[in-house]
Amino acid sequence: MGNEMMMVASAHRHPDKARELCITAQEKGFGLVIAAGGMAAALPGVVSAYTSLPVL
């Protein structure tokens, strides 16, 4: 296994933290961002606005 890392942030409860995670994800070594939430179809699009990494 490699150096897997997972971070979880609520875009509703901590929007500044979620934004900061997206902005700094690439420099922290992330290869992609997984954006999931119940009934939140817009979340991947918002995350994509803050990173150039692939968003699933």
Look at residue 55 and give its three-state secondary structure.
strand
C-beta of residue 35 within 8 angstroms of C-beta of residue 47: yes
User: Is residue 49's pLDDT more than 80?
Assistant: yes
Q: Name the residue among 10, 2, 4, 11 with its Cα closest to residue 32.
A: 4
- The answer for residues whose C-beta is within 8 angstroms of residue 28's C-beta and 6 or more apart is 5
Would you give the distance in Å from CA 47 to the centre of its chain?
Answer: 6
Encode pLDDT of 7-41 as tens digits.
Answer: 788 888 888 988 999 999 999 999 999 988 777 67
pTM: 0.75
